[in-house]
Amino acid sequence: MKKKVVVTDYNFENVNIERNIFEEAGYEFEEYKCKTVKETIEVTKDAYGILNQYAPLSEEVISGLNNCKAIARYAIGVDNIDITKATEKGILVSKVSGYCINEVADHTIALLLNMARKLYILDKNIKNKKWDYKVAKPIFRLQKSTVGIIGFGEIGRNVAQRLKAFNFEKILVYDPFVTREAIDKYGATKMDLNDIITQSDYIVINAPLNKDTYHLINKERFNMMKNNVVIINTGRGPLIDEKSLIEALKENKIGGVALDVTEIEPIQWDNPLLNFENVFITPHCAWYSEDSQKDLQTTAAKNLLLALEGKIHPDIVNPEALLK
């Protein structure tokens, strides 16, 4: 009997790349569109390998995996997977590093420029037959502004590299895991988080989501910000306490926010964020180009295949699982 590889969910047009890789390797291949824990448990219970995008791979789901040897996620992060439980059960978990670094950095800059030049306001007014630049007042020169970057991994570094071209007055960086010397190379300055919060005109968030960064931007920190600050988040939605963000917007404590990620995705259509003119949202698409999507699907499948063969590779996040 063939061993089974299951795709829990995906939002691509198809998973033909993955199907070809696994069927050529002699595996049975099944694809699903799971959204709930219950659905995920049902389709994965006898899986030998799992490809996963957004469906929850919680402790409850992983506890029911009696045949699984490896999980590969279609993402840089693995925040929807209970890594501790997977490791306990000897299941290797892998991510996909580097497939969309340029795309996310480009998207981040696009969001920043859109908010800085208030293109979203000008476009809306033109379409409402109002030809007047004054609807976007005030706009300030980027070269007199300070931008703070939270998270200085590959994406944060690529954002900093692009920002240098705009000659911002200061580029500040918070990342406790990166040295001052490494940050200096990008023409930026290493700072404490609260100093970035208080000094920045633009705050760019590219940090990973974990127990230490959950709601990193909260009510206390909103109260510390400049009242014209613009926040750009292309990291993970829960890095920002959305309830506190809405409160800050209502009270005009911040200038605006551009989000590619939200706490709940897809965003709920009754979310108050959708009612603010100074909120600009894209549907978690910063990762996407035709090139990055192909890389993502191919690499995730190859990562899973290697792990099923017991081969450790750099994208495995819990190599210690092999010792179980």
β strands within 11-125, DSSP E: 28-31, 49-52, 70-73, 92-94
How many other C-beta atoms can be found within 10 angstroms of the C-beta atom of residue 198? 15
Q: Is 265 a catalytic residue?
A: yes
Report d(CA 204, CA 159) in Å as an integer: 9
Tallying the residues shown for the chain, one arrives at: 324
- Candidate list 18, 236, 242, 263, residue with the active-site label: 236
DSSP string, 45-67: TT-SEEEESSS-B-HHHHHT-SS
Q: Is 284 a catalytic residue?
A: yes
- For 277-291, give the secondary structure using H, E and C: CCEEECCCCCCCCHH
Give the helix, strand, coil percentages of the chain, each rounded to 5. Answer: 40, 15, 45
Instruction: Look up residue 146 and give its amino acid.
Output: T
- Candidate list 23, 169, 265, 309, residue with the active-site label: 265
272-289 burial string, b = 16+ CB within 10 Å, else e?
Answer: ebeeeebbbbbebebbbe
Report d(CA 92, CA 29) in Å as an integer: 19
Report d(CA 283, CA 178) in Å as an integer: 30
Looking at residue 211, what DSSP letter applies?
Answer: T
Residue with tokens 């404590």: 253
The structure tokens listed for 136 are 């976007």
Strand order of the β-sheet with 49-52 is 28-31, 4-7, 49-52, 70-73, 92-94
Q: Which residues form the catalytic set?
A: 236, 265, 284
